[in-house]
Amino acid sequence: MDGGAGIRTPWDTPPAPGEAVEVAEGVLWLRLPLPMALDHVNVYALDDGDGWTLVDTGMSSRKSRAIWDSLLSGPLRGKPVRRVVVTHHHPDHMGLAGWFQSVHVAELLTTRTAWLFARMLTLDEQDRPPPETLEFWRRAGMDPEILAERADERPFNFADMVWPMPLGFTRLQQGDTLEMGGRRWDVHIGHGHAPEHATFWSRDDALVLAGDQILPSISSNLGVYATEPEADPVADWLESCTRLAGLARDDQLALGGHKLPFTGLPLRLAQLIENHRGALARLERHIATPKTAGACFAPLFKRSIGRAEYGLALVEAVAHLNHLHRAGRATRHLNRDGALEFTACRMAAGREGGGDGVPS
């Protein structure tokens, strides 16, 4: 499972449902299932002496709640869950935060943007995609057959996968320190995969709770959505990786939201930056002639994209095209179908980084 030389995964076997693996004194690694290709999320329980602090919660489903019930009466028994820390707003992380708040009377700690996004999206239940989403898909050049199909289906809804979130949370922000699991942790905020994503860096030993900001062996999805069609999450991501690399050490054990705990953070952060730089360079060559986001999967993913991955691939393609456009490396125009086509400004062999071209 190595992501490359210098990246080590000390545990090859994840905890079974309802079980825990102690990855450091007072830090338990737990897993919950997800109903998708990426079929699991990691969560952590930190022993505070008189109670537990959980880091992330899993998606809200009957199955996840049943697993939590067996964790609470199994490896976590004897102490209440007093706090739930959530790294970012996505349903696999925030899903059961409201359940812990309302059913288990725990305090929720997260970033302000994560809380606002999660609460906004759970309240914004949609039976059919709204016109803004259809327009966003059209501009992205979504395959017309898929667009027609999706226009007539219930879309992905936060409310289906996230327990209702009661009012009230405690804000985490850049520069905060937090006690949990008998350690002091510095809060560092990342962006790109999700806005205002919290990571936690132990001052007292070599542990990092990384959420989805730094994952081994898979790359976090960087997506643009109808909520903010001009966003440039790739720039946000590159800035975050560069900044977090300044905190990274080879001895740190990174505990992420998916896959296995690993060491080798400096190398992994360098890889994450390089992977996107490489993808941008391939994409720039690909749009020597005008292309929509929907026609840009090949250079970005280097494999064929199935129906199940189509949505994630499309938002990631828009993200990379927006980045080239914002950096002045591509121009864009609306074609006759109402889709944005992007064209590289100039193609000099071996050119790297942003140019000073004139954006459209």
Interacting residues toward Zn ion by CB under 5 A? 92, 212, 257
What dihedral angle (degrees, nearest 10) is formed by the CA atoms of 207, 213, 214, 220?
150
Residue closer to Zn ion, measured from CB, 16 or 218: 218
Evaluate whether 34 touches 95 at the Cβ level (below 8 Å). Answer: no
Residue closer to Zn ion, measured from CB, 257 or 261: 257
Nearest approach in angstroms of CB 108 to Zn ion is: 17
Q: Tell whether the torsion through CA atoms of 130, 132, 138 and 142 is positive or negative.
A: negative
Residue closer to Zn ion, measured from CB, 38 or 148: 38
Write out the DSSP string of 176-189: -EEEETTEEEEEEE
Q: Which of 250, 236, 323, 337 is nearest to 287 (CA)?
A: 323
Evaluate whether 233 touches 319 at the Cβ level (below 8 Å). Answer: yes
Nearest approach in angstroms of CB 246 to Zn ion is: 24
Residue closer to Zn ion, measured from CB, 196 or 212: 212
Burial of 85 (0-12, 13-18, 19+ CB in 10 A): buried
Nearest approach in angstroms of CB 251 to Zn ion is: 25
Structural Rg of the chain based on CA atoms: 21
Nearest approach in angstroms of CB 81 to Zn ion is: 20
Residue closer to Zn ion, measured from CB, 34 or 231: 34
Nearest approach in angstroms of CB 211 to Zn ion is: 7
- The Cα 87–Cα 213 span in angstroms is 9
Q: Residue 141: helix, strand or coil by DSSP? A: coil
Write out the DSSP string of 286-308: HTTS-B-GGG-HHHHHSS---HH
Residue closer to Zn ion, measured from CB, 79 or 259: 259
Nearest approach in angstroms of CB 92 to Zn ion is: 4
